């Protein structure tokens, strides 16, 4: 088994607060890197400490703007050229993951391109959280540690009396994810939204399969973008007699007027994680952010020690 040098954790600029929490959990100082812009806007990266032979982890979510992706690629290249022993790209939110197959002619498979870019830049492995589609793991020619935020979310809800709760899948594609969460929350029942999507980012709720009348409903999805899907589902649940509605997503994109949409519906609570550093002006009133820093710190520690990651989920 190959042994690597000191563990070092660096951060891109997309989510510095999360990286700071991870390093505190690990008892480390965050690695010193300088990210600046040339006058014309080009990104300039400089690693300001010795990483030769070290086990390096770079934390960077790759949501828009596209500079987040380029920044990560440049940091990986800088680490490789500085003779780092191993480079792991820690990507809490893996951007461009929604285009993972050719759903119509003459379109890219963007998720595959991202996988190729990170490997080509010099990453030895990737660690990510709740991929939009699990098949994306197969796009990589390097090891991928696919983590799930479910333990953090379950811990939050287990502080409540769940006897009257039901989980609602916002579409058929989310049924497997919702059923898995429901099972780990004590075999809670589930219901399913049957919807039609006329065009991207526009969802129309048609029907709810399952009895939600007088129940407390949790709507669960991997990401919240414009909020259309989740808000429509929440309103439909309330219209059909749900006692209360809780919304839960792992990745808080909150694009466009998502904040206003959520604030317009009587939602009890909106729970997300800090895979994306969401600006204050895009946060709905009832938003609660859970941190996945403990989860990522433990996974980083285990990878560094060549210990099992799968056992982390069994223990959770």
Phi/psi at 292 (5° precision): -100, 15
| Residue 226 is labelled as binding a ligand | yes
Active site residues per annotation: 195
Query: Mind listing the domains of the chain with CATH numbers?
Result: 7-148+293-315 (3.40.50.2020), 151-290 (3.40.50.2020)
- Whole-model pTM? 0.93
| Residue 130 is labelled as binding a ligand | no
| Residue 99 is labelled as binding a ligand | yes
| Residue 228 is labelled as binding a ligand | yes
The pLDDT value given to residue 69: 98
Chain CA centroid to CA 204, Å: 25
Buried b (16+ CB within 10 A) or exposed e, 205-225: beebebebeebbbbbbbbbbb
The pLDDT value given to residue 316: 41
The pLDDT value given to residue 1: 60
The pLDDT value given to residue 203: 57
> 3-state DSSP call for residue 141?
coil
The pLDDT value given to residue 227: 94
| Residue 161 is labelled as binding a ligand | no
| Residue 238 tokens, joined | 């309330």
Q: How far apart are the first and last CA of the chain?
A: 27
Decide: 21 and 291 in contact? Cβ < 8 Å.
yes
Count the Cβ atoms, other than its own, within 10 Å of residue 299. 23
Q: How far is CA 186 from CA 154, 183, 253, in A?
A: 10, 6, 29
How far is Cα 190 from Cα 134, in angstroms, rounded to an integer? Answer: 21
Phi/psi at 173 (5° precision): -65, -20
| pLDDT in 10s for each residue of the chain, 316 residues | 677 889 999 999 999 999 999 999 999 999 999 999 999 999 999 999 999 999 999 999 999 999 999 999 999 999 999 999 999 999 999 999 999 999 899 999 999 999 999 999 999 999 999 999 889 999 999 999 999 999 999 999 999 999 999 999 988 888 988 999 999 999 999 999 987 666 666 656 568 999 999 999 999 999 999 999 899 999 999 999 999 999 999 999 999 999 999 999 999 999 999 999 999 999 999 999 999 999 999 999 999 999 998 877 644 4
Q: What angle do CA 266, 272, 278 make, to 5 degrees?
A: 100
| Residue 274 is labelled as binding a ligand | no
């Amino acid at each position: 088994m190959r042994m690597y040098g000191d563990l070092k954790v660096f951060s891109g600029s997309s989510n510095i607060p999360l990286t700071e929490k991870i390093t505190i959990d690990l008892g480390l100082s965050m690695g010193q890197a300088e990210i600046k812009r040339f006058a014309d806007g080009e990104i300039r990266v400089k690693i300001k400490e010795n990483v030769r032979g070290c086990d390096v982890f770079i934390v960077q979510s790759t949501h828009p703007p596209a500079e987040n992706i380029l920044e990560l690629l440049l940091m990986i290249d800088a680490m490789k050229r500085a003779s780092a022993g191993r480079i792991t790209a820690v990507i809490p939110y893996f951007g461009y993951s929604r285009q993972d197959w050719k759903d119509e002619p003459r379109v890219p498979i963007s998720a595959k391109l991202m996988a190729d870019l990170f490997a080509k830049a010099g990453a030895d492995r990737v660690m990510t959280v709740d991929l939009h589609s699990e098949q994306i793991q197969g796009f990589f020619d390097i090891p991928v540690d696919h983590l799930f935020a479910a333990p953090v979310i379950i811990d939050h809800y287990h502080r409540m009396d769940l006897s009257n709760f039901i989980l609602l899948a916002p579409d058929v594609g989310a049924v497997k994810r919702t059923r898995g969460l429901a099972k780990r929350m004590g075999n809670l029942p589930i219901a399913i939204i049957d919807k039609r999507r006329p065009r991207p980012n526009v969802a129309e709720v048609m029907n709810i399969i399952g009895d939600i009348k007088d129940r407390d409903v949790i709507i669960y999805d991997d990401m919240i973008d414009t909020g259309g899907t989740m808000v429509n589902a929440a309103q439909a649940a309330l219209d059909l007699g749900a006692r209360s509605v809780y919304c839960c997503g792992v990745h808080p994109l909150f694009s466009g007027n998502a904040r206003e949409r959520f604030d317009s519906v009587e939602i009890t609570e909106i729970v997300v994680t800090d895979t994306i550093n969401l600006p204050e002006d895009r946060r709905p009133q009832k938003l609660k952010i859970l941190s996945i820093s403990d989860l990522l710190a433990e996974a980083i520690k285990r990878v560094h020690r060549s210990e099992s990651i799968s056992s982390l989920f069994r223990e959770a």
